């Protein structure tokens, strides 16, 4: 089974509008972390935001917020006031605890966001 599912291959949003990128996850581990990364056309993966499974509050980082619904196993990324520079691929990822302490990241297939002027 896929550990991370991103069902939107592509999304369009008007500049200055808000957009939600969907992410659902699958784990039986009570302790895990959820991450969102942005990958512009240059190729580098940029860390955006993190949510721990035990965190009570939804994470926020500037214009990024994470809508964490634990019972539904969803961790949607909300980008407010979209800018042209937000056009990129966005990946949702999850880390589970493992014996090595490396805690591998499992990635979704990504959503390509295009911001329209």
Partner 1 sequence: DVKVTQSSRYLVKRTGEKVFLECVQDMDHENMFWYRQDPGLGLRLIYFSYDVKMKEKGDIPEGYSVSREKKERFSLILESASTNQTSMYLCASSLWSGGRFYEQYFGPGTRLTVT
Concatenating the DSSP letter of every residue in 61-100 gives ETTEEEEEETTTTEEEEEE-S--GGG-EEEEEEEEE--TT
| Binding window for partner 1 (CB under 8 A); candidates: 17-25, 42-50, 59-67, 79-87 | 42-50
Q: Binding to partner 1 by residue 100, rule CB under 8 A?
A: yes
Which residue, 7 or 14, has its beta carbon nearer to partner 1?
A: 7
Tokens standing for residue 59: 């994470």
Q: Binding to partner 1 by residue 68, rule CB under 8 A?
A: no
Q: Binding to partner 1 by residue 114, rule CB under 8 A?
A: no
Q: Binding to partner 1 by residue 95, rule CB under 8 A?
A: yes
Geometric angle at alpha carbon 63, from 62 and 69, rounded to 5°: 100
Of residues 104, 18, 115, 13, the one with CA closest to residue 67: 18
Which residue, 44 or 117, has its beta carbon nearer to partner 1?
A: 44
Of residues 25, 22, 75, the one with CA closest to residue 49: 75
Residues that bind partner 1 (CB under 8 A): 4, 9, 32-33, 35, 37, 42-47, 50, 52, 91, 93, 95, 97, 100-105, 107-110
């Amino acid at each position: 089974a896929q550990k991370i599912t991103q069902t939107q291959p592509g999304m369009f949003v008007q500049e200055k509008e808000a957009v939600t990128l969907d992410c659902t996850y699958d784990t039986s581990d009570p302790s895990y972390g959820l991450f969102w990364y942005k990958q512009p056309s240059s190729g580098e993966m940029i860390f955006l935001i993190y949510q721990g499974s035990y965190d009570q509050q939804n994470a926020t980082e500037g214009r990024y917020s994470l809508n964490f619904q634990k019972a539904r196993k969803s961790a949607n990324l909300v980008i407010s006031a979209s800018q042209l520079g937000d056009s990129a691929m966005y990946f949702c990822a999850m880390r589970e605890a493992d014996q090595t302490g490396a805690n591998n990241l499992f990635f979704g297939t990504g959503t390509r966001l295009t911001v329209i002027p």
